[in-house]
Amino acid sequence: NAGVTQTPKFQVLKTGQSMTLQCAQDMNHEYMSWYRQDPGMGLRLIHYSVGAGITDQGEVPNGYNVSRSTTEDFPLRLLSAAPSQTSVYFCASADRGGNTIYFGEGSWLTVV
Amino acid sequence: GDSVTQMEGPVTLSEEAFLTINCTYTATGYPSLFWYVQYPGEGLQLLLKATKADDKGSNKGFEATYRKETTSFHLEKGSVQVSDSAVYFCALSDVNNDMRFGAGTRLTVKP
């Protein structure tokens, strides 16, 4: 059981470049989300999805896009990377009533 | 909106010392409360949780009790080990599964 899988684990981008962080879960969870982790800020919610075809914004959505075409996948897109997006990104999933969230191992992104 | 405030770190303890990391929350409803642990270079792992008032979550010697009257969920361990060195996050989850995290508290345990 792989759980929540994120790729890539490490990435360096130049300002203005675009990229996609991939996230997949094999637990048939309806709820998926993306967080960023910054020193002293804890985890902040970027976007979330309550099911295939449904996405919504979290606390810090600017500069990021998401889509949810299948239950399993929830990619996070940076359209034009900025140094302020240097962070550690975590994908997470949860079932409808479980209210326990399972996290991926994280993606370390540096924008130079 | 809902929020979590936890004790600022870093916290440094000697092995076998008693640990308390304070966590308080603000919520309009009746959230579930969690402690997550993050070991160096890894993702977050659920440590323990409590879903209603007066519930006590426990795991690996750690405990936390959901106190509605004081809106708190303090993490405690009677005797820490070097292997407990990590960052600990307090979090709450509302009925929509939206989670709010505290800023994290880094714990270092010295032999």
Q: Which amino acid is at A72?
A: E
Could you tell me which residues are beta bridge partners of residue A28? none
Residues A106, A101: Cα–Cα separation, whole Å: 14
* A63 closest CA partner among A41, A85, A42: A85
Q: Tell whether A88 lies on the interface with B, counting CB pairs under 8 A.
A: no
Per-residue confidence (pLDDT) for residue A24, from 0 to 100: 97
pLDDT in tens, A3-17: 899 999 999 999 999
The answer to whether the Cβ–Cβ distance between B104 and A42 falls below 8 Å is yes
Residues A107, B42: Cα–Cα separation, whole Å: 10
Write down how long chain A is: 112
Nearest CB to A31; choose among B97, B101, B104: B97
A72 — alpha (psi -120 to 50), left (phi > 0) or beta? alpha
**Percent of chain A whose predicted confidence (pLDDT) is above 70:** 94
Which residues 6+ apart lie within 8 Å of A54 measured at CB?
A68
CA of A42: which chain B residue's CA is closest?
A: B103
Cα A47 to Cα A23, A41, A74, B42: the distances in Å are 13, 17, 10, 22
pLDDT in tens, B24-64: 999 988 899 999 998 887 778 889 999 999 999 999 999 99
Displacement of CA A107 from its chain's centroid (Å): 9
CA of A4: which chain B residue's CA is closest?
A: B43
